[in-house]
Amino acid sequence: MEARSIVIGVEGMTCHSCVQAIEQHVGKRNGVHSIKVSLEDKNAVIIYDSKLQTPATLQEAIYDMGFDATSAGSDPQPVLPDTIFLTIPAQSALTSKEIRSTLLKNKGILDVKMSSDQKSAVVTFLSSVINGKQIIQMVPGVDLNISAPEVTPGTCEDSSWSQASSVLLRLKVEGMTCHSCTSTIEGKVGKLQGIQRIKVSLDNQEAVVVYQPHVITAEEIKCQIEAVGFTASFKKQPRILKLSAVDLERLKNTQTKGSETTSLKENSKNVNDTKTVVFKIDGMHCSSCVFNIQSTISALPSVTNIVVSLEKKSAIVNYNPNLISVEELRKAVEAVSPETFKVSLPDQYEHTALLSALASPLKSHTALKDATQPLTQVVVINIEGMTCNSCVQSIEGVISQKAGVKSINVSLANSNGTIEYDPLQTSPEDLRSSIEDMGFDASLSAKTELPVGVTEPLPEEQLASLRTEPTSKPSPNHAAKQEAKSISKCYVQVTGMTCASCVANIERNLRREDGIHSILVALMAGKAEVRYNPTVIHPSAIAELIRELGFGATVMENSGEGDGILDLVVGGMASASCVHKIESTLMKTNGVLYCSVALATNKAHIKYDLEIIGPRDVIQVIKDLGFATTLVKKDRSASHLDHKREIRQWRRAFFVSLAFCIPVMVMMIYMMVKDSQLSDARAHHNMSDEEMEAIHSSMFLERQLLPGLSVMNFLSFILCVPVQIFGGWHFYIQAYKALKHKTANMDVLIVLATSIAFVYSFVILLVAMAEKAKVNPVTFFDTPPMLLAFISLGRWLEHVAKGKTSEALARLISLQATEATIVTLGPDNVLLSEEQVDVELVQRGDIVKVVPGGKFPVDGRVIEGHSMVDESLITGEAMPVTKKPGNTVIAGSINQNGSLLISATHVGADTTLSQIVKLVEEAQTSKAPIQQFADKLSGYFVPFIVAVSVVTLFAWIIIGFVDFEIVEKYFMGYNKSISAAEVIIRFAFQASITVLCIACPCSLGLATPTAVMVGTGVGAQNGILIKGGEPLEMAHKVKVVVFDKTGTITHGTPEVMRVKYLVESNRMPHNKMLAIVGTAESNSEHPLGVAITKYCKKELDSETLGTCTDFQVVPGCGISCKVTNIEALLYRKNKMVEENNVKNVTLVKLEENVEQSMQPALIIDADLPTTVTSQKYSVLIGNREWMNRNGLLVKNEVDKAMIEHERKGRTAVLTAVDGVLCGLIAIADTVKPEAELAVYTLKSMGLEVVLMTGDNSKTARSIASQVGISKVFAEVLPSHKVAKVKQLQDEGKRVAMVGDGINDSPALAMANVGIAIGTGTDVAIEAADVVLIKDDLMDVVASIDLSRKTVKRIRINFVFALIYNLIGVPIAAGVFLPIGLVLQPWMGSAAMAASSVSVVLSSLLLKMYQKPSSEKLEFRARGQMKHKSPSEISVHIGIDETGTNSRKLSLMDRIINYSRASINSLFSDKRSVNSIVLNEPDKHSLLVGDFGEDDDTTL
């Protein structure tokens, strides 16, 4: 019997009598266990038997009563039942059958099963409808069976419950070395059905298990432990446990209970009887303890809710005092594994929670309603139109307020939102329409609703009042859900890969394994990146799977794990008490999250919060306990990249093979020379066949040692066997492992070729010896030594070349410093102490000293000292960079001539160098689309070649027997003394073996990754970080380059370009106006205000200005304020000018005045005339409107000057002092010096260049004319940049977007290639495909140029790879025999080796790449770069392609305006104030815009 719950919408109810009528009518129906009708929610929650009722029949029953019944949109949900054991006394008045039928008549009882001895019964019931007490009361005389633990239905239906007592088992477990072993056993065995508790002790080497013998046997438990890899044996015979009621409840199998069961513990009848108690719990260390207590105690039927706080060391428990006492509860908590908790009960905390809210019928109704329904469901809604994080926050903010929404997580990257909601209060459609109401496009995803069992017991709300703060730990179910979501990433170093089919082999086999989500193998980096589920599989198991495939594999340290994880070697530990001492002390330390110390290995693994505690503090805590500690050294070298081990292995293999190969070759050449001499002699002397045979057999090598065994064949066999065994050992192992996993790779081809040649020759030789043949058979013993020698040589050279391709990355890794000097500073930066520490122990905020010639160990900011720093290896900038206090420094750069003190800002994996290394490694791991095709091809290649080889063998055998003359004519060294059949067989074998030898998928697999590796490495050395093969391949296809303006084409910070003084200098001296204006703007945070202050300070040569009061700002207009205390500043400036004049005239150094000139500006000297009194000035700074508002008239000539500046893209600001207009300041964001050359070069490369900006059209037009861009999209909002890029892509163009990565991130991600311009540390790594470390636009040119060169090299590599296979295979098969082209097997293997080596060498030529130098490009572009006139620039406003709407012009008007535009452009670039605005501004841009309007850039 299966109970299900359904929610049915009911329309037409008017009062509570309707509710009662429905509940009574439907509740009477057979198979309906429970029904709750809600008048407010207009629905009915029904629990029913799915065999007796269906949702349709229930709807029909309600409909028959005159109400409208509809499905609420959710499917029926299973309701998990509870079970109870009953003991039937021998003197019972009722028989077992009568008891069964009596019980089954009651609602809520699903099933009753009797034991074979009729003494006990198990009742399956719904706890939301009926409870255990009520069941016992139904049948007089029966009692609750205490001796049997509760089990779920179905686990042991046919067992006798008389044996149901729990049993204690002690096992001796051998082979455990650390706490990881104990966790593995506990995790494996603890999950088994029937296991109630397990505790494994490392020190005692034993496991204590409490289990149910009717579910699992002791032998099965032992086998499970042995399956994990340990030896287990029984210490004592299992003994039955006598358990109390509390123990029983504690040992329930909580995993079999659904979340509904927990939330249904309370019944509406006894809701008001609950009490709340607060326990103080000592001994909790981590969230695992919290989870254990919560999950175990919440499983007790008497507990309605429990909240455990790790911080407060307390537990708030809501319980039913009728079912359990406080003392029993306390014991139950203490009994929770690992039984180390100390639970006390402060008297002042215990109180009865007779909360009024609980008595509310609505609340209790909701609880019951929720009980029969999965409490939450999850829906994924696709959301289009989000542009930035503010969109994400606004959606999350609005939707989270909706009724029924439990949580919402919106992802900008995935363009979707995941919402957890209560299906009784809202629906996916409601949520979708709410998001659409906010202005976004929303659609329901295919994977819409996933029911989530979240335990939300009723008193949660009421308990909120008892807590001083919400619990920081998630609920157990939530934690489980998070765990399911979490996917970990690990890196495995893989050795022994030779070609793309190895990569395909590893990837294909590992993808089949449980728990592995994705795998990416980099052939060149010798690394596999694996994303896996840590609950299913762990990294060491992944490495083992790779090793099983025949490759070397070791788990590398995860680059992302450096933060907050510390591995230490702890010396001086003697026993387990030392371990406990260290662990307990560390766990009490604030900021330490987790600690595990292994006595056997003397190692400690510590996780800590970087914000609270640092690694040195952790080490100090352990040292204070009296133990010595050292850091576990991480391998910082790039040893896995230099291929040294492989180079050594293949060099040895080559020389071994060569040692045996040379004698074979000498004998072969000797025989060939002798044969040719004999054939010449025969031609001259007309010898008969018999004479020829006699001479031939008289040769030393042809003499027979035994009948059928010649010296030549014997020596060849002796030399061939060692090579076949020792030289071919590696190939045989690899081939066996490949075939075992149903794959074929290069090694399979090599093994086939050598084995066939060896076995064929050996068999022929044995047959000849058996027949005592007089003519020596022709064998292939020369093939394996020569073949293996050439292949080993090829592999050796290939690994040497591969090591070279990784040099760039190895050089980057080697830049990392290993140690740092940390100093302690006293007051006034006095050096108190210094200490040399490992670079991994540097913490954020540490003061690090870097001496001349030293490397910077971390990123930081200079706080003291001046020096020159060489950053060439990181940024590609050849010239040293000056560093002074306030400047940032990059880890890995080299300090040149002065000592510096720096404050660490980024440490460990956060440093720029670590990010670059990670980026380059990931780039070399990623695959270009062209490479994925090559990998696929390699997979089919080997079987295809084997097939061709077999076809070749049979084809030549058939041809030979049909027409022997062809073989006789073209077969080199044919000898009449050999039979025709043997010649044919030998020739056919030779051709087929040669086909196997010459075919090489290696070169095909190496073509792309070697080029990508060298390309990305060269890019990194030049300050261009390319994220892998795809952007590298895509960049050469780009047709349009879109530049952002601010911060990309321009510097991004405004500067004062021009100051126009509007009053005579005798009325207002220039210095005085600058002092007043600079002081006024010093309080402004606006970029224009900052630019004015900076300019004034520079002009006045002073770091301090006057005093500003009554400062007011009006956004969009300007500022007003009062300025005082500028006299001292002016006096000092004037005095300096006078002194300079005197110096220049007399060339006399007046030392007494020098001191005064260097005094701080605001200190009034004794020299200052006492008559000068401080004057107060009233200042206004702003646009025309601000001046007009304050009653100041802006004259026509001033207005014209402002319009002229605005036409050039500048912002014109007016200043007034004491009601008089004094000056006009023009401010602009200046263009980068290299921008014009970069744009010109891109155009000369055949690319279209577009400018896209959010700025106004005037400024955009001005900037575009300066850099030579003719197409501009102005006033484009950041959110519309994405749409603009998409629009260009829809036209069939490949787009590269260049931005500074701040508000351009969505557009960078949308573009085919996103190029982010960084400034050293502010690298916008996430969205962009290419990151330029230097703030230099010429690197955009270089990145596209490098991409083109790399793709060209990849294509050349493919030609190299395919030419060998396309031409070599037919030649080897004998297709070109008629023109005399025939290959020996050793020639084939030489060609195969040459193909791989030539591909790698071809890629290495990329290392010679030089990025285009600005000097050469400038010289080439001399005289050709010119500023665009405004008429040549088309400006599009906003996202609309057609620009602003205006009236349609007649043909005549158009002709007049064209002519007027032409005349205007001839005479002047100034625009007419009264120009007519056309409908197509991009074509008649001279006439666009009315410049009479006040279009000022907002202040």
Catalytic residues: 1044
Whether a cis peptide bond, with omega within 30° of 0, leads into 55 is no
Joined tokens for residue 1256: 């106004």
DSSP annotation of 351: B
Distance CA 434, CA 498 (A): 56
- Report the distance separating Cα 1191 and Cα 1007, nearest Å: 75
Query: Is there a contact between 44 and 12 (Cβ–Cβ < 8 Å)?
Result: no
* Angle at the Cα of 958 from the Cα atoms of 957 and 960, rounded to 5 degrees: 65
Angle at CA 657, nearest 5°, toward 653 and 663? 160
Residue 630 tokens read as: 């050292």
Q: How far apart are CA 915 and CA 874, in angstroms?
A: 11
d(CA 48, CA 58): 9
The encoded tokens of residue 382 equal 């696709």
Three-class secondary structure of residue 1434 per DSSP:
strand
Residues 1289, 1165: Cα–Cα separation, whole Å: 68
Spatial contact of 47 and 34, defined as CB atoms under 8 Å apart = yes
My answer on whether omega of the bond before 338 falls inside 30° of 0, hence cis, is yes
Contact between residue 1223 and residue 1073 where contact means Cβ atoms under 8 Å apart:
yes
- Rounded to whole angstroms, the Cα distance separating 740 from 733 reads 11
Question: How far is Cα 855 from Cα 664, in angstroms, rounded to an integer?
Answer: 56
Q: What b/e string do you get for 1339-1348 counting C-beta neighbours within 10 Å, with b at 16 or more?
A: bbbbbbbbbe
Question: In this structure, are residues 1292 and 1312 in contact, taking their beta carbons and an 8 Å threshold?
Answer: no
Helix axes 929-962, 980-998, angle to 10 degrees: 180
Q: Quick check: 1330 and 964 in contact, CB under 8 A?
A: no
3 state DSSP class of 787: helix
> Residues 6 or more apart from 440 whose CB is under 8 A from it?
383, 384, 385, 386, 391, 395
Contact in structure between 879 and 895 (CB atoms under 8 Å)? no
Asked if residues 92 and 142 have their Cβ atoms less than 8 Å apart, the reply is yes
C-alpha to C-alpha distance for 413 and 382, rounded to whole angstroms:
11
**Residue 1474 burial class via C-beta count within 10 angstroms: exposed 0-12, middle 13-18, buried 19 and up:** exposed
> What secondary structure letter does DSSP report for 1472?
P
Of 506, 409, 416, give the one whose Cα is nearest residue 745. Answer: 506
Separation of alpha carbons 526 and 506, rounded Å: 12
- Angle, helices 1338-1372 vs 1001-1021, to 10°: value is 170
Write out the DSSP string of 1301-1350: SSS-HHHHHHSSEEEEE--TT---TTT-SEEESSS-THHHHHHHHHHHHH
CB atoms near residue 1175 (< 10 Å): 11
CA dist 1228 and 1056 (Å) reads 7
Question: Which residue is associated with the tokens 């989530």?
Answer: 452
Distance CA 1254, CA 1332 (A): 23
Number of helices (H), then strands (E), belonging to the chain: the values are 48, 55
Q: From CA 48, how far away is CA 981, in angstroms rounded?
A: 85
**3-state class (DSSP) for residue 1105:** coil
